[in-house]
Amino acid sequence: MTIARTFLLGAAFAALSALAQAAPAQATTYVVDPSHTRVYWETRHFGTSTHRGRFDSVEGSIALDRDSGRGEVSISIATASVSSGVPALDNVLRGKGFLASEEHPTAYFVAHQLRFDGERLSELRGEFTLRGVSRPLELRSEHFGCRTDERLKREVCGGDFEAEILRSEFGSTFGLPFVGDKVRLLIAVEAIRQ
């Protein structure tokens, strides 16, 4: 074998090896299970008690590549699905002073920066859109795990995530300062592997 041929074979092998390392790993896709996913909220009321409620209509998809620590998350929330347990209050929350559900029927969270602690998804960094206004948002994982669902014969992953927003940053200033500006979000999500 000539030196030139050895050099060419070595260069070809190095190029193929570099391409293999640069090729993106295959992400696993999950679809959010709406029957096991809720977005809960809480905020102070007149500086005394804490009002709590939830959004009942949540959809989305998640793509995870645990090997590379990368992925994408896309969640949509129907703002009219807000439920505080008090129908009259729900109507106020859907109105222009708070969620403006008629003009902005959907809130979105989209994340492209995921952080893992080993196998556990620990943090999502992305953008939250509410009332047509988008702001950076970081969701912190309180718990994350996966299991095989015997009924579905598929992997189900899920967890509990937490974040805080200032509603005034999204144009919701009605009732300030008596109704709190800071809103704590608690997201309980389960998603089914496709």
Summarised one tens digit per residue, pLDDT across range 11-45 is 444 443 443 343 345 889 999 999 999 999 999 98
What is the structure's pLDDT at 78? Answer: 98
Residue range 95-117: average pLDDT? 96
- Residue range 161-178, pLDDT digits in tens: 999 999 999 999 999 999
Report CA-CA distances (Å) from 1 to 4, 16, 79, 138, 181: 8, 21, 71, 58, 75
State both tokens at 15: 């190029």
pTM above 0.85, yes or no: no
CATH architecture of 25-193: Beta Barrel (2.40)
d(CA 126, CA 181): 21
What is the structure's pLDDT at 47? Answer: 84
Query: Taking Cα atoms as reference points, which of 62, 149, 159, 43 lies closest to residue 112?
Result: 62
Higher confidence at residue 3 or residue 31?
31
52 within 8 A of 184, measured Cβ to Cβ: no
